[in-house]
Amino acid sequence: MATRNGFMDGGSWYKGNLHGHTTLSDGKLTPEQFREAYKQKGYHFIAHSEHDFFSNFEQENEPNFILLPASEVGIRMPKDDVRIFHLHVIMGTDEHLAAATKEPLKHMEPIVWPDFVGFETAQAFIDDMVARGNIVMFNHPHWSTVEWEDVYALENLFALEVYNHCSEWMENMGNSRVMWETLLRKGKKLWGTATDDNHNNYPLDSIYCDSFGGWVVVKAPELTRNAVISALLEGSFYSSTGPEIYDFRIENDEVIFECSPVERIYMNGDLRQYQIELGENITSLRKKLRGDEKFVRIECYDKFGKFAFTNPIYLD
Q: What is the mean pLDDT of residues 282-291?
A: 94
Res. 274: pLDDT tops 90: no
211 and 235 share one domain: yes
Roughly how many angstroms between the first and final C-alpha of the chain, as a whole number? Answer: 12
Question: What distance in Å separates the CA atoms of residue 21 and residue 31, rounded to the nearest whole number?
Answer: 8
Is the residue at 3 inside a domain? no
Is the residue at 151 inside a domain? yes
Res. 261: pLDDT tops 70: yes
205 and 307 share one domain: no
What's the CATH number where 165 sits?
A: 3.20.20.140
pTM surpassing 0.95?
A: yes
291 and 270 share one domain: yes
Res. 271: pLDDT tops 90: no
Q: What is the mean pLDDT of residues 32-42?
A: 98
Q: Is there a contact between 152 and 179 (Cβ–Cβ < 8 Å)?
A: no
**How confident is the model over 219-248, as pLDDT tens digits?**
999 999 999 999 999 999 999 999 999 999
What's the CATH number where 279 sits?
A: 2.60.40.10
237 and 255 share one domain: no
Which of 178, 207, 241 is where one domain is finished?
241
Q: Bridge-partner residues for 237, per DSSP?
A: 218
pLDDT band at 273 (very low <50, low <70, confident <90, very high): low
Is the residue at 5 inside a domain? no
Question: What distance in Å separates the CA atoms of residue 235 and residue 218, rounded to the nearest whole number?
Answer: 8
Question: What distance in Å separates the CA atoms of residue 309 and residue 181, rounded to the nearest whole number?
Answer: 12
Q: What is the mean pLDDT of residues 175-185?
A: 96
Strands (E), the chain: 4-5, 12-20, 45-48, 53-54, 66-75, 85-91, 109-110, 134-138, 159-164, 191-195, 215-220, 237-240, 245-251, 254-268, 273-288, 295-301, 307-310, 313-314
* Residue range of the domain that includes 66: 12-241
40 and 156 share one domain: yes
Question: What distance in Å separates the CA atoms of residue 287 and residue 281, rounded to the nearest whole number?
Answer: 18
Q: What is the mean pLDDT of residues 131-136?
A: 98
Q: Is there a contact between 297 and 150 (Cβ–Cβ < 8 Å)?
A: no
For residue 1, what pLDDT is reported? 65
**How confident is the model over 56-109, as pLDDT tens digits?**
999 999 999 999 999 999 999 999 999 999 999 999 999 999 999 999 999 999
